[in-house]
Amino acid sequence: METLYLVILIFVFGLAIFDVMVGVSNDASNFLNSAIGAKAASFRLVMVIAAVGIFTGAAFSNGMMDIARHGIYQPQHFYFAEIMCIILAVMITDVVLLDAFNSMGMPTSTTVSMVFELLGGTFAIAMIKVLADDSLPMGELINTDKALSVVMAIFISVAIAFFFGMLIQYLARVLFTFGYRKKMKYAIGLFGGFAATAIFYFMVIKGLKDSSFMTAENKLWIDGHTGMLVGYCFVFFTLLMQVLHRLKVNVFKVIVLLGTFALALAFAGNDLVNFIGVPLAGYSAYTDFIAQASGATPDNFLMTSLLGSAKTPWYFLAGAGAIMVYALFTSGKAQHVIRTSVNLSRQEEGEESFGSTPIARKVVRLSLNVAHGLDRWIPERARQWIDTRFRKDEAIIADGAAFDLVRAAVNLVVASLLIALGTSLKLPLSTTYVTFMVAMGSSLADRAWGRDSAVFRITGVLSVIGGWFLTAGVAFTISFFVALLVYYGGTVATVALILLAVVTLLRSHVMFGRKKTAEQHSETVRLLLQSKTSEETLQRLRVYTREEQARLFQFAQENFDHIVTSFFNENLRGLRKAAGAIKLRKQLVKQMRRIGAGAVSRLDNNRLLEKGLYYYQGNDFAIELVHSMDRMCEPILEHTDNNFNPLDETQKEEFGEIAGQILRFIRSCQEKAGKNDYEGLEQEVRASNVINNQLSALKREELKRIQCQSGSIKVSLVYLTMLQETQNVVTYTINIMKVSRKFQEN
């Protein structure tokens, strides 16, 4: 029996390694998005500074893993076997859940996931114990106060972080403007002193105060002299920043890099419990059981020893820090999550990662009404003066950066202050909540959310916030059922769940690699949106258009074949899959139109008149092509789903012959568009005319069948719809090729 628990413990530590890597992938955006988004330094330097902060924070981390030892469950009422069951459920759920969120590029909270996984697993085992012996009430087995405090902290921190991020950024922008170099002469010393003091206070209070090397006397001295420390630091840093400014050093870069180090240090020093706290609790439980059991079995040895606090051995901390640093440099998912946060807060228009939702549209509409109402109360001269502080054409933004250094500095300073304040008030704030919402608030204050992008940005913010709450529910539910399976399934269920977790992780990494390959075209979009001249914009827009058209024709081939084949074989699952692909493609063509419209608007008048019309025509034809596929798939899917009569053999045979010609026709167009080679396009034009004539002939034949009342009328109507929309697919495909040739030619 001891061997089984040793195997479980080894597996839990193996999962802990993955958990640390996954956790860094998720939380990297907390301390990297400001420095990377503003390009405060080279990517390598930013990563090195963050890595030093992570390793330092991990090495000096507090060894107090109390929340995993007795924060949720009351260990004096649980046996060793029950504790190991909870720990295994938590680790399996945590790794798989966080990996799923990271694969989607959605930042979530490791604090929430761990707390609610512990709560779910504990609730499952506690429910079993209460049903077996009602002398133990549920309230004595579970500590629900901690979970409730986390939920309340979510609501409070989201609102406060967003508000103060917006307010401080607005004041900073009014003070410095977008052309901040002209306004830095004297104000930069005070701003830099305040910012550096706030970051220092954050590092001491949040990052190092509870570290393992801090004695009780040191903590007491810091508590008694906090005001004096802050005052001295403010004077020192103010003078230092003014001197650095006189020496031509960009103070904003210094603040951003210092803030990056501070957040990375605090992340590793305080959030490490989210990754290794549960495995270390399992390690303590196992060692206590081996040392103290004295012949007791895992089913009757109470884990009262977990009530005490434990110091984490230094080699666990150093090892976790090394793994964190490795994950930071190698994780593609970390960069994926960072990209989500940076894209939602960037200054310029561009490719939007999220669509539009009704609630986002209502929020934008309400905000516009409030803004118009406030405008009536602000004097005209005051409005004009404020507008002069927000001239975006004066913005000093590094090449390829999402926003400027002023906003990056505000993000880090405000986040540091709020997290330090929450810590001093004993609130379990999450760095994910605070840093993300501060970034969203500051971007709103910076007028980065224009009317053309606000609805998409708000949808993104709501999606991320919804993901946090979804994390809590999913973590609780999965951990609950996994704990039940382990408890009742014994060794067989344990081994099966371990294998399932391993397979899920491997599959996730494979799928993420494919997804990353599919998203490589985003580099073309980035270059297009960074184009400076009209000629450069036109050339990059041509490249982008060719790539998107090739993908559109690939989609048309695959889904046309899928719809026809599935209809012939009455394959309902295949038709539903095609309908899902069409729905996704609708969003992609809308996104293509938005990106292209932004690029076309930067063309000079001559090129706009010459090429703009062809581009918009091509876009319209692309949209109609996708809608034709939708109009063909929808009635076929409904017909098949209702189990109506299938096509007869004559209809299948006559349409099957033309379907092959259509697929060859679309494939030929795809090759020409991808290679930008429109020589011999007349051959495709003739082929489209021949196919459409054949389809018209089939429609006439089908109408004759209807007149003769031979066959099912329902089948005939669906068949006629398929013929008509197939004609549209062919027509719009060749029209895209015609206007594309005119748009691509010099």
pLDDT, tens digit (0-9, with 9 covering 90-100), for 430-449 = 777 788 788 888 888 887 76
Give, rounded to a whole angstrom, the gap between the first and last alpha carbons of the chain: 77
Bridge partners (DSSP) of residue 302 are 79
Q: Which amino acid is at 469?
A: F
Residue 411 has pLDDT above 90, yes or no: no
Token pair of 661 as six digits = 């010609």
Per-residue pLDDT, 600 = 80
Per-residue pLDDT, 631 = 93
Alpha carbon 724 to chain centroid, angstroms: 41
Please state, in angstroms and rounded to a whole number, the distance separating the CA atoms of residues 669 and 97.
Answer: 43
Give Cβ neighbours of residue 272 (< 8 Å, ≥ 6 apart).
57, 58, 61, 317, 320
Q: Tell me how far CA of residue 565 lies from CA of 458, 670, 729, in angstroms.
A: 41, 21, 17
Return the axis-axis angle of helices 534-569 and 613-641, rounded to nearest 10°. 20
pLDDT level of residue 352 (50, 70, 90 thresholds): low
Residue 207 has pLDDT above 60, yes or no: no
SS3 of 676-708: the string is CCCCCHHHHHHHHHHHHHHHHHHHHHHHHHHHC
Average pLDDT, the chain: 80
- Tell me the CATH number for domain 522-744: 1.20.58.220
pLDDT level of residue 484 (50, 70, 90 thresholds): very high
Which residue's structure tokens are 């951003």? 256
Per-residue pLDDT, 26 = 63
Whole-prediction pTM: 0.65
Lowest mean pLDDT among 338-347, 488-497, 541-550: 338-347
Token pair of 446 as six digits = 């910076």
The values of phi and psi at residue 73, to 5°, are: -100, 160
Cβ burial of 574 (10 Å; 0-12, 13-18, 19+) is middle
CA nearest 474: which of 67, 85, 179, 106?
106
Per residue in 147-202, pLDDT tens?
Answer: 677 667 767 877 888 889 888 888 888 888 888 777 677 688 888 898 888 888 87
Cα angle, residue 553 at apex, residues 552 and 555 outer, rounded to 5°: 65
CA nearest 552: which of 584, 514, 511, 597?
584
Alpha carbon 465 to chain centroid, angstroms: 11
pLDDT level of residue 483 (50, 70, 90 thresholds): very high
Which residue's structure tokens are 């420095």? 35
Per-residue pLDDT, 481 = 93
Please state, in angstroms and rounded to a whole number, the distance separating the CA atoms of residues 301 and 75.
Answer: 11
Residue 705 has pLDDT above 80, yes or no: yes
93 vs 28 pLDDT, higher one: 93
**How many H helices and E strands in the chain?**
26, 0
Q: How many Cα atoms are found within 13 Å in the side-chain-facing hemisphere of 387?
A: 8
Name the 3-class secondary structure at 73: strand
Please state, in angstroms and rounded to a whole number, the distance separating the CA atoms of residues 84 and 61.
Answer: 25
Contact 201, 415 (CB under 8 A): no
Contact 545, 599 (CB under 8 A): no
pLDDT level of residue 696 (50, 70, 90 thresholds): very high
What's the rounded mean pLDDT across residues 609-632?
88
Contact 239, 391 (CB under 8 A): no
Please state, in angstroms and rounded to a whole number, the distance separating the CA atoms of residues 626 and 5.
Answer: 56
Token pair of 510 as six digits = 């494979």
Token pair of 467 as six digits = 């993901």
pLDDT level of residue 731 (50, 70, 90 thresholds): very high
Per-residue pLDDT, 688 = 94
Per-residue pLDDT, 555 = 93
CA nearest 149: which of 415, 416, 419, 422?
422
What's the rounded mean pLDDT across residues 523-531?
71
For the chain, the structural domain boundaries read: 2-510, 522-744
Per-residue pLDDT, 64 = 46
Per-residue pLDDT, 736 = 93
Contact 15, 501 (CB under 8 A): yes
Please state, in angstroms and rounded to a whole number, the distance separating the CA atoms of residues 83 and 90.
Answer: 11
Q: Tell me how far CA of residue 59 lies from CA of 15, 56, 119, 208, 622, in angstroms.
A: 21, 5, 29, 11, 56
Give Cβ neighbours of residue 106 (< 8 Å, ≥ 6 apart).
337, 340, 463, 464, 467
